[in-house]
Amino acid sequence: MSSRKRKQEYVRTTGDRSREELIFATLSLPIETDTRVAGLVRVLNNLPDVYTCSSCGGHSDLRDRENPVPEGYFYVQFILEPTESGFFSLGIIDLAARNVDNENLAVKVLNCTDNPKLVMFHILGKEGVDPGEFAEEIRSLCKEWGVSCEGVYERKKKVRKQIAYDRIQKGDL
C-alpha cells in the first residue's frame, strides 16, 4: 500500500472484489434513470462490453438525492470489460464526446475505490450539453464503424445470468 495520502475519498474494497461482481450487480439491480439521460444510458448499455452503474440528469433541487448534479449538467458512470470490444466501445464514446462538445463533455477515468481492478469511467456533460445529441452521435459512429448495438444489453444480461448460474452450480458463490 502506498504511503502517499490520497486527497479524494474512496471506498475501501477487498483485493478479491472483482469487476465481475460489479457487472453482475449493475445488471441485476433495478435502477431508476432520470428521463434526461435515459436514452443515453440505453445506448451505452447496448455497446459491447459496457455496463452503466450510475447516472444523473441534473436537478434544480439537489437535496435528498444521491450524487446529484445541478440542472444543465448530467453524468453517467460505467465500467467496461478489458476486451478489444470494450476498448473499441470506449473509443467510440470518447470520439462522440469530442464531436459533440469538446469543451463541455468529457470522458475520464474514475477510480473511486482502493482497488485498481475496479476502474470505472465517468462522462460529465455541463453547460446544457444535450445527452440525447451525445447518444445520437454514439449511434452514428457505431454505424460508421460497423458496431451493432441492437439487443446487446439483453444478450449481456443472459450471459451474466448463465455465468452466475454456473458458479452457483459449482458452489463458487
Query: Domain segments of the chain: what residues?
Result: 19-170
Q: What's the pTM value of the predicted model, to 2 decimals?
A: 0.79
Report the pLDDT value the prediction gives residue 138, as an integer from 0 to 100.
Answer: 97
**Residue 77 near residue 83, CB atoms below 8 Å:** no
Cα 135 from Cα 130, distance rounded (Å): 9
Confidence of residue 73 (pLDDT cuts 50, 70, 90): very high
Q: Is the pLDDT of residue 98 over 70?
A: yes
Query: What's the distance, CA 145 to chain centroid?
Result: 21
Structure confidence by residue, pLDDT tens digits, 4-16: 555 555 555 555 5
Report the pLDDT value the prediction gives residue 39, as an integer from 0 to 100.
Answer: 95
Closest listed residue to residue 23, CA positions, set 93, 85, 80: 80
Report the pLDDT value the prediction gives residue 7, as an integer from 0 to 100.
Answer: 57
Closest listed residue to residue 43, CA positions, set 165, 160, 161, 131: 131
